[in-house]
Amino acid sequence: MVNTLSDSDLLRIQRELSDLASGIGASAAVVAGEIGHRSRPELGYAGLAQREGFRTPEALIRHETKSTAHNASALVQVGTMARDSGDVGAVSSAEPWFREVGAAVAAGSLSVDAARAIRSGLGSPSERTGAVTPDDLLSAAHLLVIEAAQVDADELLRRARSARDDLDEAGIADRERAAFEERSVRRTRRPNGLSRYIIDPDIESAAFWDDVYDTLTSPRRGGVRFVDDADKAWAEGISSDERTTDQYAHDCFTQLLRIAVSAETGESRRIVGSRQPAVRVLVTRTALEARQGHGRIEGCDIPISLETVERIACESGTVQLDFDESGRPLDLGREQRLYSQRQRIALAAAQGGCMFGDCDRPPRWCEAHHAKHWKRDHGETNILDGVLLCRYHHLLVHNNGWEIVRDDAGFWLIPPREVDADQRPRLMPSKSAALRDLRLLSA
């Protein structure tokens, strides 16, 4: 019986069982790779899976193993790498940069989870000339196979992603855009008939959601200690609440949405305490001035493009941090909060909503953009240079090369050359009915 084992024996058996399971998993992947090969699409209905009545080898393996679709897919992916590692003729149609990964799986020295982490994190060669080559990925995969003996699959995935970022600086913005395009909130139905919401945020939104969640639940999960009496009482109330952490988070998110819909100011403190969730971006001055490199969202391993850094700085302001040679902060600059609430009220009254083209987003959906960029142009935070843009058009202006200029007639939108080769200015008229009324009275 395991309850009679010593601590050292218990841990030893756990390691041995894990090694045994890893070996069995690798063998299962090799078999799955062969099933995939015998079910390849060019065989049509003569393929193994099709003959057995299944559209794909994954469906056949899922049926035979009684596993999930995710596990069946992993077995086929990794098994294909393992099979191709010993089949020279397969190189032309497979992923030769992962041959060493597949060989390690076939030899039983690399688990299915580790192999999938390397493949997922490194990805494929870039189509851009001079970017990530198959040889680059081959070298990175070689190092990761060695490191796999010392770390778990989660850490290996993080290292693989980091290696890809190091190899493909230019691709950071592409991957960021891909994550942004894949953002979604989906509603499905649970077996009991109620709704289930599945949230897949982009990089920046994920950081904000994470900060909100951590702020809500930190007293339950060993967060920072509070000094302020009001925050102490708030934290103690959460700790002693009879709801589970999941139930508490659910109720808090629901209440935050209700507060936002009803726009009852001051209510949010009762939900999240005095600390307001925020997204913080870290970037070096050198990267900003040279326009080369990237930034990081605090607490997130995924890099973001400089265009996103500038947009967030434009909306939220910056704090300058200086460091000595040892990486210790020397001086904390004055926080530059950009448009105040009173300034936003004035902009809303004067502009009436998003100023981009025919966009109909109201002021409450808009962010305050600097016509003279905060970082790039050393612009000032004044109403004369403030332009209301909805989030979509704010992203478009910063990421796609649009410019906004001002003269005595008002604001003008300058399209990038790929949109208009002559870059003819487009007037951005106010959409404020109140301003029109004022002008009629003054006429």
Coil, strand, or helix at residue 352?
coil
Q: How far apart are CA 122 and CA 140, in angstroms?
A: 8
pLDDT for residue 327:
43
Q: Can you give the pLDDT at residue 94?
A: 64
Pair 399, 389: CB distance under 8 Å: no
Tell me, what amino acid is at 409? A
CA–CA separation, 280 and 126 (whole Å):
30
DSSP helix, strand, coil percent of the chain (3-state; round to 5)? 55, 10, 35
* Of 368, 424, 421, the residue nearest 397 (C-alpha): 368
Closest CA to 366 of 381, 379, 384, 351: 351
Helix (H, G, I), strand (E, B) or coil at 126: coil
User: Radius of gyration over alpha carbons of the chain, in Å?
Assistant: 28
Where exactly are the structural domains of the chain? 2-167, 201-272, 341-442
Name, in order, each residue with C-beta under 8 angstroms of 243's C-beta and a sequence gap of 6 or more.
251
Q: Which tokens sit at 56? A: 């794909």
Tokens 């909130």, located at residue = 185
Other CB atoms within 10 A of residue 252 CB = 20
Q: What are phi and psi of 423, to 5 degrees?
A: 50, 50
Q: Say if residues 105 and 112 touch (Cβ distance below 8 Å).
A: yes
Give the three-class secondary structure for 191: coil
Per-residue tokens: 58: 């994954």
- The reported pLDDT for the residue numbered 86 is 63
H or E, element range at 332? strand 329-332
Question: Measured between alpha carbons, how far is 427 from 410 in angstroms, rounded to an integer?
Answer: 8
CB 388 within 8 A of CB 363: yes
DSSP codes of every residue in 26-61: HHHHHHHHHHHHHT-GGGGGGSHHHHTT-SSHHHHH
Give the pLDDT of residue 93.
46
The answer to whether the beta carbons of residues 375 and 387 sit under 8 Å apart is: no
- Pair 250, 271: CB distance under 8 Å: no
CA angle 404, 304, 334 (to 5 degrees): 70
Contact 60, 39 (CB under 8 A): yes
Q: Which parts of the chain sit beneath pLDDT 50?
A: 88-93, 322, 324-337
pLDDT of res. 440? 59
Element spanning 9, H or E: helix 7-38
> What pLDDT, on the 0 to 100 scale, is given for residue 293?
80
d(C-alpha 338, C-alpha 342), whole Å: 11
CA distances from 407 to 88, 214, 385, 404, 429 (A): 66, 46, 10, 10, 13
Residue 6's SS3 state is: coil
Say what the pLDDT of residue 91 is. 40
Longest dimension (CA), the chain: 94
